[in-house]
Chains A and B, each alone.
Chain A
Amino acid sequence: METPLRRNLTAYTFLLPWLTGMLCLTVGAMLFTFYLAFTDYDLISSPEWVGFDNFQQILRDPNFWISIRATFTYVIFSVPARLIVSLLIALLLYREVRGIGWYRSLIYLPSLIGTSVGAAIGWRNLFADDGPVNAFLGLFGVEGPNWVGNPSTAIVILILLSVWQFGSEMVIFLAGLKQIPGYLYEAAIIDGASAIQRFFKITLPMLSPITFFNLLMGTISSFMIFTQVYIITGGGPMKSTLMYVYYLYQHAFNYYNMGYAAALSIILLIIIGLCSTVIFLSSRFWVHYDG
């Protein structure tokens, strides 16, 4: 028999890389963020303790509130839209028909490239003044707006780009649909339930744990939007798309206000924590774990 000491030693040899990363890059960095948030630091002179100054300044900064508003608008529209679209398309792709593999792959394709700079460039030009979207609207006699240049439509481009990438949610819904036992539907058909009743009484409740997972992960990742803002709108026009992480980026890497930016990232952590808690608490009322 090997001794507990030896056993631990072997295990920790395997864990060494992960533990190093964990202590330095995650835990250490977290603690460092908390410290920095209470300092004034520009990367050159050493950090200077300023107490709650950063937080007070942030709460007084109109741009902070503008970015909160823009980010929440984005999250509140894009997350549910993506959930609904991904579920509908999953229902469409669920039935095995000829060529289903091709349909699934092609529909998933945008999600694969969607977060890249290249896709953002394409998306932006799709909504150009004389781009395909406005050309399409023109077919119906509608004169399309100047999407990128108009404060009320710029955020729509970002939301639509996010909806275009519903692929991973869709694949997770598809896997969930396959888990629903067929006898439930058979019993419902015998009882004379219509297709719509079957969807609301069987499919939706049975999928609710998966909807919950998609909602939670989708919400967290939506708060992180950056590349698309940087490439497509640059936070404009008139700060209408000044998303939180972009605002944070400007303070950290354009103005080198590291303490201020650290305080911003702690506020972001709190916001995400609160949103996750709300989603978790609400799940009691709509997520069914019994099959």
Chain B
Amino acid sequence: MMVKVVGAMKRRGIRNLLRHAALVAVTFIMVYPILWMFFSSFKPDDQIFSTSRLWPETWTLDHYLAGFNGELGMNFGQLMWNSLIISVVVVVGTIFSSTLTGFAFARLRFTPRRFLIGFMLSTMMLPAQVVMIPQYIMFHKIGWVNTYLPLTLPSFLGTVPFFIYLMVQFVRGIPRELDEAAYMDGCSKFQLFRLIIFPLARPAIITMSIFSFYWTWNDFFGQLIYLSDPELYTVSLGLSMFVDNTGNTQWGDLFAMSILSIIPVFVVFLIFQRYLVEGIATHGLKG
């Protein structure tokens, strides 16, 4: 008996060990590209490709300094600041439009409610690129090209149906007894929204904010077509221009800036990990 139990434990121990080995291997492969870029950004240019060793032989901060003191013809601080402004405004806009719309769809009665909800859901399948050209022409006509308005204003108008869907689902899960109690106390619909539903929807709002933040931060297409004034450039645009202009010789500088461009997303991820993974799992949001 004893021997059998020990044998089973041994087998389990081995299986566990194998599992950890597999996990470590997969994780290493996944993270390696990021690590490689990270360590390369601290190597002098002539060591980046000549050695296959990950760890730098000599460390240098030159690449990072170059990005900030204007040696590269642009100031990386300014680019980060521009990206940050756009992203924060989009987060605010997303919260504004999605909570209002989500509340109305989940709680209010109006005609034609079912039709509008169905319509909203069907637009989830519509690829953004299909409406991009007319939108560009519209914004061009109003003279908003080379401003941040075409990048930020749509978020206030609820143009990402995923977020509205997420809010509808979440608000439906809030018990209706709360509404009734609020009405009994003389709340209006707007007060119900502001005092009860909005505060209770916090987890969904956080999930939504994270996604809209890093989608906007990582966005390239929108910024590329709407912004051509270097003063307005964002991180994505700055990096892509740098690739074009230097003919790819200053690897270290490029890597240093790429790493810096990833850091805000990384920080948000570390802080809000839990909400992020839950959000994807329950609503199928794409990364």
Which A residues fall within an 8 A CB radius of B? 4, 7-8, 10-12, 14-15, 17-18, 20-22, 24-26, 28-30, 32-33, 36, 43, 89, 92-93, 95, 97, 103-119, 121-123, 125-126, 128, 130-132, 135-136, 164-165, 167-168, 171-172, 174-175, 213, 217, 220-221, 223-224, 226-227, 230-231, 245, 248-249, 252-253, 258, 261-262, 265-266, 268-269, 272, 276
* Contact status of A10 and B108, CB under 8 A, knowing A106-B31, A113-B262, A164-B30: yes
- Asked if residues A7 and B108 are in contact (CB atoms below 8 Å), the reply is yes
Considering the complex, give the chain B residue whose CB is closest to the CB of A213: B284
Give the number of residue pairs across the A-B interface with Cβ within 8 Å.
Answer: 251
**B144 contacts the other chain (Cβ, under 8 Å)?**
no
CB nearest neighbor in B for A125: B251
4 additional A-B residue pairs with CB within 8 Å, beyond A97-B20, A172-B281: A111-B287, A116-B262, A123-B33, A168-B284
B225 in the interface (beta carbon within 8 A) = yes
Which residues 105-135 of B sit at the A interface, judged by CB distance below 8 A?
108-111, 113, 116, 119-120, 123, 125-135
Report which of A103, A117, A231, A252 forms a contact with B27, defined as CB distance below 8 A. A103
In chain A, what residue has the closest Cβ to B269?
A112
Ranked nearest first, the 4 interchain pairs of A and B with the lowest CB-CB distance are A21-B157, A118-B258, A11-B110, A32-B134
Nearest Cβ distance between residue B85 and chain A, in whole angstroms? 18
- Cβ of B277: which chain A residues have Cβ within 8 Å of it? 104, 108, 171
Tell me the bound Cα distance from A118 to B49 in angstroms.
18
Residue from B100, B110, B135, B255 in contact with A122 in the complex, judged by beta carbons closer than 8 Å: B255
Contact residues in A for B217 (Cβ distance below 8 Å): 116
Question: Is B89 an interface residue when CB atoms closer than 8 A count as contact?
Answer: no
Is B209 an interface residue when CB atoms closer than 8 A count as contact?
no
Residue of B128, B132, B269, B285 ringed by the most chain A CB atoms within 10 A = B132
Say if the beta carbon of B10 comes within 8 Å of chain A: no
State whether the Cβ of B170 lies closer than 8 Å to any Cβ in chain A.
Answer: no
Instruction: Tell me, yes or no, whether B103 is within 8 Å of chain A by CB.
Output: yes
Interface size class of B (residues with CB under 8 A): 35 or more
Complex contact A122–B243 (CB within 8 A): no
**B96 contact set on A, CB distance < 8 A:** 17
Contact present for B281 and A25 (CB under 8 Å): no
Instruction: Tell me the chain B residues, 186-221 only, with Cβ under 8 Å from chain A.
Output: 189-190, 193, 214, 217-218, 220-221
- Min CB distance B273 to A, Å, is 6
Chain B positions within 8 Å of A168 at CB level: 280, 284-287
Task: Report the Cα distance A272→B129, complex, angstroms.
Answer: 12
Residues of B within 8 A of A14 (CB): 100-101, 103-104, 108, 189, 193
- Tell me if B129 and A245 are in contact (CB < 8 A): yes
Q: With contacts A15-B101, A230-B220, A272-B127 known, is A258 near B158, CB below 8 A?
A: no
Which chain A residue lies CB-closest to B37? Answer: A122
Residues in B with CB closer than 8 Å to A106 are 27, 30-31
- Residues of A close to B101: CB separation below 8 A: 14-15, 17-18
CB within 8 Å of A: which B217-267 residues: 217-218, 220-221, 224-225, 235-236, 239-240, 243, 251, 254-255, 257-259, 261-262, 265-266
The answer to whether B127 and A131 have CB atoms under 8 Å apart is: no
**A111–B287 CA distance with the chains assembled, in angstroms:** 6
